Chain A
Amino acid sequence: MNKPTAKNKNIFSVSEHTVEIITNSGEGAQKCAQIFGQTCAKMGNGVWTVEIIPAEIEPPHHTVTSTSGNIIRFGTDKITNWGDQSKLAVAFNDQVCLSRHRLDSFQDDCIILLESAWENHEDEKIRTMYAEAMEEMSSKNYRFVLVPIEEETLKVVDNPQHGKNMFALGLLAEIYQRDVSIIERQIAQIFKKKPAKVTELNVQLVKNGMAWARENLDFQVDVKTKPTDEDRVVMNGNQAAALGAIAAGMELCAMYPITPATSVSHELAALIENYGGIIHQAEDEIAAAGVALGASYGGKVALTVTSGPGMALKTEFLGLAIMTEIPLVVLDVQRGGPSTGLPTKVEQSDLLSSIYGQHGDAPRVVIAPRSIEECFHAIVTARRIAEAFRCVVIVLTDANLATGVQQFTRPKLDVRWQQQPVDFSPLPEGMRPYEWDHETGLSRRVVPGTPGGQHTVTGLAHDEYSNVSYHPDSNERGCKMRSRKLAVFQSTLMPPEVHGDEEGDLLVVGWGSTQGAIDEAVDRAREQGLKVSSCQLSFLSPLEPGLKEIFSRFRKVMTVEINYSDTLGDAYITEETRRMGQLAWLLRAHTLVDIDCWTSCPGQPLRPNDIYNSIIAKSEEGASK
């Protein structure tokens, strides 16, 4: 075969590909990736994108800490997670490229399109850094292709900072043969409020990028598309959650800025007033919970949106909401902890604190959506549960879902998802605001404005009349009734589905956002002949029914989670001292099954390959016993 050239391109046909765009923070990688990802989705590819963002807004450029970027995994079929290493990268400088190399983000034979301006830069310091970076990266077999990104961009615009991303987009469009008309439409949409010239220049940059790639690159990548008739939408988990709140008819969301939850509020702030509601940015996390609770007390089912540290601050208010049985929905977009932890990164860190984070017995519902699509439906479901059971519902997503972009079936909106009007018909004398049905613990909600319903709700122990009561029986009864509601709710749930065979050697149990990566890893292991299945939980409090029975059909059960657990065999770590992953603790307590765990808290989503390796290791461990 002839050596590939620009004229005689080598075309790689693959079922999927992972590409990353890495730049200094502030150079527009997100916008480039957003358009590219959307284009792939619109053309019929399955897509999953992940943001790489520093916690700072714009750290010093051309350093390993300034890396901002986006990973786009797309394929012929549905893509459910960010996958493994990247196969192609566009890097605006050697340092951001080096930072990704150090994180082991690139596949060994990754093709890296690197800005050519630095190799022979006039500044000796930059040349030296470049040389050292290239030396360090030579440990891998990357194929570097130098591209004069800045030089080419300057042919169209004066400031390359606002344009290189579009030239890069052009490179990708040509490499992956994307439909340029889709790209043009999106650029026009993004800049619709700017002068037409802005759109023109951006489109020109894309076209120049395509032309450069056409003339200079000796390869293309062909990822077949599979067009579908199904109505689909593409968005990230925070957008999905925000639209879920609107679809649920929520009319008040109180929040305080916190990463990675804030963009939910951005979406809502842009929309909610057109839907008869408001966003209230409170003075702090505590007040945000208080304002939401006050609105719910007034008859709404309000929402508060936060992340781990904010959850900690809201703790007392959540206890009050539970004690007073006022419906409230809390969306916790989890991040790494403790304390400020990993603000822009992924961790499944709040499971146990969400379930048990109050003093006293404070039963509440905890739901963890397993996909971006479920971020939408979970909020709708949460509102309904909160109202029907007069309880707090916590929805646990994480940065993986919050900032990941994926397409899903367009929801068929239903007017019944919204709250029904409050019943203000007068109540007879002697009415009880906590007229608990003694079997279910359920009682009618009495909202201010209802004649004859006057009473004072209180966080103090109270009787059915909401009278403060220190009588031993009263508190016992209140606790029992509030707890009973959870059991009643659990009776409405179905046992979770098992992915793979219904029985086998190993069952991998996950919760929330890790579903895609776990299932993919399990599928690989099954292809290798291992008898492994998986089961992804989305209801964590109460737990879905039938778990013990499902677990009994497997020789070994192991949770896979993005949080910390000790490793047996490490210094001081024994069966007695080992601290487990959060779901593992929960399931062990709940089922008395000797459940193992494999967890990791790298601040990024789990990779299918890492999970696969843990499955292999666990299987070998099991075999040697």
Chain B
Amino acid sequence: MSSIPISLLGLEDDSATECLVADDYQKKEGKWCSGCGDFGALNAVKRLLAKEQLKPEKIAFVSGIGCSSRFPHYVNSYGFHGIHGRALPIATGLKLARPDLDVFVVTGDGDCTSIGAGHWIHATRYNTNMTVLLLDNNIYGLTKNQTSPTTPMGHSSMTSPRGTVLPPLDPLQATLGITNASFVAQTADWVPAHLYATLEAAYHHKGFSFVRILQRCPKFTADVFLENVKDPNLTELLVHKEGVNAPGLDKLFTNQRTHDPKDLDEARLLAARTDKLRLGIFFKDGSRPVYDEIRAVPPVSPEEKVSKLEKEFDRYAV
């Protein structure tokens, strides 16, 4: 922690807030299992908040239920740990009411793509200005090892002891198929520089920034991306001047593809291909309608409301 109490920082002028460092944004230690990918996401988020020097009281993290959704408890900001699958409606309401806040949503593969799937589709279409982190470890962890929609086919779990029988749902393809999607990216917890750079790009995008973060659950899906972790040649980075530009990755990841994030057709094709794991920004379009902007209405004073309402009552007068 920095030596200056956080509670005072909001009162300082901008130059004084410069001293916030990543750890100032950590409220308490994460209680995830050792080796959990959620720690990587938390570290990247803390770095981002410090880089942007956001005032802790002007940030809100909203989550649902699951391991990932414990996230807000560990961040020094306002937080709303909600109910299973329903972080997005809460975040939408919050952003509509408080456009001055930076709103982040942290969700998991069960939370977002299963019980919350309906909200995911519509939140994507609303394109409300918020940054969404889908911490996808391909499994229900907190309820102890049940199949999720993204669990790889054949993977065994407590609910699929002989292996899952359906091909996994692809959150990227699904999101890219939704009207008014405006930012769809994929990154991985084992490439921290890329994770950070992706979150940074997502934060700066105006609209609903959807970032799928691939990670492993050390207890139940430790093997899911093992090949990719061991062999960077199985991964292809999507690069572009408008995309994710993380320094120092060129040597490790020799497979790089220039992909213009404006190209939705190409983004959909790339998301559908299974030959390689692709990390980067699949699609980005800052010109799409943003719900909280469209719905913004000028404030009306209490007195003005009363006088307008009197006129309204005149219509009903007898």
Q: Please list the residues of chain A having a beta carbon within 8 angstroms of any beta carbon in chain B.
A: 38, 41-42, 231-235, 239, 243, 246-247, 249, 251-252, 254, 271, 273-278, 280, 282-284, 286-300, 302, 316-317, 320, 324, 407, 410-411, 413-415, 418, 426-429, 448-460, 468
Contact = CB atoms under 8 A, between A and B. Distances in A.
Given A276-B299, A283-B119, A456-B72, A415 B10 contact: no
Contacts of A454: 6, 27, 56-57, 76-79
A415 B303 contact: yes
Given A294-B97, A454-B57, A458-B73, A278 B10 contact: no
Contact of B6 (A239, A247, A452, A458): A452
B79 A455 contact: yes
Contacts of B5: 429
A288 B122 CA distance: 12
A290 B11 contact: no
Given A252-B97, A294-B62, 17 more contacts: A231-B317, A233-B318, A234-B318, A239-B316, A247-B309, A280-B92, A294-B89, A294-B90, A294-B91, A295-B97, A297-B97, A426-B11, A448-B94, A454-B78, A456-B72, A456-B73, A468-B73
A41 B86 contact: no
Interface in B1-45: 5-11, 27
B316 A233 contact: yes
A456 B81 contact: yes
A286 B96 contact: no
A294 B55 CA distance: 20
B295 A275 contact: no
Given A243-B309, A413-B310, A457-B80, A449 B119 contact: no
24 contacts: A231-B317, A232-B317, A276-B297, A283-B118, A286-B86, A287-B86, A290-B92, A296-B97, A299-B97, A299-B98, A316-B83, A413-B313, A429-B5, A448-B57, A448-B58, A450-B57, A451-B10, A452-B7, A454-B77, A454-B79, A455-B78, A456-B80, A457-B81, A458-B73
B163 interface: no
A411 B313 CA distance: 9
Contacts, number: 208
Contacts of B91: 294
Nearest to B125: A283
A249 B297 contact: no
Nearest to B314: A233
Interface in B158-174: none
Contacts of A455: 78-79
Contacts of A254: 93
A458 B62 CA distance: 10
B81 A458 contact: yes
Contacts of A448: 57-58, 60, 78, 94, 98, 101
B57 to A, nearest CB: 5
A444 to B, nearest CB: 15
Nearest to A324: B80
Where chain B touches its partner, the secondary structure class is: helix
Interface residues of B, number: 61
Contact of B93 (A42, A273, A283, A291): A291
Given A290-B93, A297-B90, A449-B58, A234 B316 contact: yes
A428 B7 contact: yes
Contacts of A316: 83, 86
A45 to B, nearest CB: 10
Contacts of B6: 452, 454
B247 interface: no
Contact of A413 (B58, B80, B121, B309): B309
A459 B83 contact: yes
Contacts of A459: 81-83
Contacts of A234: 316, 318
B302 interface: yes
A280 to B, nearest CB: 7
A93 B62 CA distance: 58
A291 B298 contact: no
A233 B95 CA distance: 37
Contacts of A289: 89
A322 B58 CA distance: 24
A249 B119 contact: no
A38 B295 contact: no
A187 B126 CA distance: 40
A418 B97 contact: no
A448 B93 CA distance: 13
Nearest to B310: A413
Contact of A246 (B82, B98, B100, B309): B309
Contacts of B75: 456
Contact of A274 (B121, B295, B308): B308
